[in-house]
Chains A and B, each alone.
Chain A
């Protein structure tokens, strides 16, 4: 392409050529200036509390009595007495239910709606509406939906002769229902990132591929997917981090029931900290969950970094 007018403002006077090192130093200084506000925020309001939590995980404390040092015994107790191992398994089950469906659906919606047909714009807005509501308010509505005798789902099923199960009281259906509620809430939001990513792929590439004889499916695999990887990485990493910490929906809909079938890790942490006031144990749970999420996220980054094209070559 010919270099048309570059959209850059050039100062009127000629600058003398800077040395490479001076330019580098300038860049480093600028970088830290740019970073400063968020760095202060992250360190003050996130890193320092996290360090406290790690320290607290080695103590026993109920907020009112003095802090007592207990070493690593919390880490054993949370598995022996607080059922944290079970919570981790329940959480993993939820993540496996949630992530694949949600990612595929979000991508599918983005591709379906990435056009200028009338109505697409409206549906794009509708898809994101669930994200704007609080999980608590929506949880109430879902409870009505899935209520065994008065809910609309079982009412509709009854019309076609099926007796619907007690969705939230049945350990087989409780977690899938929660996953459904969460997918409903966040799929439109994730769709937005895929939309932005899809629209960043220049049409020229598709046309070139079409000229070379690629089918639509091949175009998707060879053009779209690789260039979507930054968006995909973002969506997957944030969804996985978020799913491992799912809380609001479970709290409102089942509160961990039936029995402990939906007691996800974050609910266990919340109950241990704020109902049982066992801050040390809750902190230990948080650390374990953190390490788990960290390992998975590093793995995701490794996988993607080897394959990601960030810029359009």
Chain B
């Protein structure tokens, strides 16, 4: 099998004879590569596989058989129960409404804030940024209590507003993420635009956003996953079951009297599938190459 040495352009005038790396055949490299991919796939997929198996088994098979065994007679009964007896259709709709609103606002406003922190000059920039970061470092368990009382006094408890409002105006994680990314955009780009008389808004929306596709979509994914899987806050801020989101609906199946494993896992799958679909659609935008080199200075 012909080995392939690393190639340097023959036309390079300053070519220096480089010591050839050991001639590992390309075929061996490829085989190792795909073997590694297979192992990775097994590690990451097996737990999901088990939960998928369990979602299609009745409760007695879940406990009496090994979770690794595929269902002997797969049944849709768990899913049927979720949507007929337990109102999961409603929970799905609630979660979708709240998460989409939350995500749209969060990404937009965080991006604006991130751009300001990254590429605009104003007094107090460092201090304000550290204030944003500092709030991430306080465990959110106890902060929920004053927040809850605030919402109670504002008569916003048990409404959709309560579920997304604390997050929709932007959150420090996403601001931090996008700020890091915006700081890799050369300052000269913005300076040139400013000299040409562009307003900051124009710069942000016409120049920065188009080249920040991957990070915007990453931020959207981040926001969406967070909103979709949020549990403690929606739980304490809603009373009526008609406002339940999926995570809260799922928690109902763990009572001190019984744990309905089949329903919990079916419910988790119901929560998971929309996210997998969303992610699969957008993942290529996240990881497709961007080219900062398209910007000429």
A173 near B: Cβ within 8 Å? no
Grouping DSSP codes into helix (H, G, I), strand (E, B) and loop, the A interface class, with mixed when no group exceeds half, is helix
The stretch among A34-42, A73-81, A162-170, A254-262 that forms the contact with chain B is A34-42
CB distance from B198 to the nearest CB of A (A): 7
Residue of A nearest to B186 (CB): A311
A104 at interface, CB cutoff 8 A: no
Query: Using Cβ atoms and an 8 Å threshold, which residues of chain B touch A265?
Result: 139
Give A281 to B28 CA distance when docked, in angstroms. 60
Is A42 touching B279 in the complex (CB atoms < 8 A)?
Answer: no
- Find chain B residues with CB under 8 A from A28 CB: 120-123
The answer to whether A140 and B265 touch across the interface, beta carbons within 8 angstroms, is yes
Instruction: Tell me the smallest distance from the CB of A203 to a CB of chain B, in Å.
Output: 8
CB distance from A284 to the nearest CB of B (A): 10
Using known A-B contacts A34-B204, A41-B109, determine if residue A8 contacts B196 with beta carbons closer than 8 Å.
yes
- Name which residue of chain A comes closest to B169, CB basis: A41
Asked whether, in the complex, the Cβ of B18 is within 8 Å of the Cβ of A294, the reply is no
With A45-B166, A133-B268, A202-B292: A213-B41 Cβ-Cβ less than 8 Å = no
Tell me whether B45 is interfacial, beta carbon within 8 Å. Answer: yes
Q: How far is the CA of A137 from the CA of B93 in the complex (A)?
A: 20
Selected from B18, B44, B150, the residue in CB contact (under 8 A) with A126 is B44
**What bracket does the count of chain A residues touching chain B fall in?**
35 or more
A289 touches B67 (CB 8 A): no
- Knowing A8-B207, A41-B109, A211-B15, say if A200 contacts B184 (CB, 8 Å): yes
B210 nearest CB neighbor, chain A only: A7
B264 within 8 A of A: yes
Known: A40-B169, A124-B287, A312-B292. A286 touches B141 (CB 8 A): yes
Pick from A35, A52, A196, A274: contact of B286, CB under 8 Å: A196
The answer, yes or no, to whether A299 is at the interface (CB within 8 Å) is no
Beta-carbon nearest neighbor of A232 in chain B: B180
Give Cα distance in the complex from A310 to B276, angstroms. 33
Interface string of A6-33 (1 = CB under 8 A from B): 1111110001000000011011101110
Complex A-B, nearest 9 residue pairs according to Cβ-Cβ distance, in ascending order: A41-B169, A38-B170, A137-B268, A52-B146, A38-B113, A30-B200, A15-B197, A37-B109, A46-B135
